[in-house]
Amino acid sequence: MIKVSSIKQHMYCPMKLYLKTHVDASETKDYQLAIEIKKLKIDIQDLIQKNMRKVKKEMVLSEIENVLSENIDPYIKSTSNAIKSMNIGLEASQINEIIDDAYFNIKIIALKTKQAMTILDKHAFEIIDMFFPNCMYSYLIKDQSLGVIGMCDKIEIVDGKYYPVLLKSGTPPVKGVWDSDAIELVANAILIEEEFRNDVYVGFVDYEKIRDRRPVVMDVDLRKAYFNILREVKEIIDNKKKPNVKKSPRKCEKCEYKEIC
């Protein structure tokens, strides 16, 4: 089975995928750390959602922020300690960034919640679906016909329609989304269509650093591009085809395989 993560890696550098697959097949600590941080951020979002059910329409903004913040600090600290015990390189600066992101998000949600409660004259638990639609996190899907397996960061379900969502912590482009993010998103969309027998017309990339959600239309051109890349990935993984790539000083300098590439 081809992993969606392999397709994403091919988008970054086909040679890195080749070396990782046929020279060093072990998972890197950086990849493991990224997965654990993503899980932590998802859990924080779930805590905020649970806390939101306690918010009343008569509360002032500072009270709402305090309620939404309940148990956030202890959970981040305990989970961070658990990640540290795995020896995968979680640094204090990364923990601080997670905490800052969480409280910045709480301030935004508190403000939006207060405005919505005032306008609609309802308590938060009555309007929680406006902020947290029904969704599934870290959902594993296999497509036997295509031979692809992937873990969807988030699938939102609205009025019976399924919307894949990527959660990205990196710096976004000025407009739109990165090509690699679009390909990863359409890969997830096609997996969702096969799993739930439900057409997917649009997905979203959440660039967490700037709190911006950007839509991606699952059109014919994007789907064709995905299948072309999927064929290339299968050639590299299954047939050990060595790709021809142009060197990129920016990428190559950071690559763990630069000494053997």
Instruction: Please write the tens of the pLDDT for every residue from 130-169.
Output: 888 889 998 999 999 999 999 999 999 999 999 999 999 8
User: Parallel, antiparallel, or unpaired: how do β-strands 202-207 and 161-168 relate?
Assistant: parallel
Q: What is the largest CA-CA distance in the chain?
A: 64
In the block, tokens 């305090």 appear at 66
Query: Per the structure block, which two tokens stand in for 137?
Result: 């996190």
Query: Given a cut of 60, is residue 26 above it in pLDDT?
Result: no
Cβ count within 10 A of residue 138: 14
Instruction: Please write the tens of the pLDDT for every residue from 178-228.
Output: 999 999 999 999 999 999 999 999 999 999 888 899 999 999 999 999 999
pTM for the model stands at: 0.80
> Are the beta carbons of 151 and 188 closer than 8 angstroms?
no
Instruction: Please write the tens of the pLDDT for every residue from 227-243.
Output: 999 999 999 999 999 99
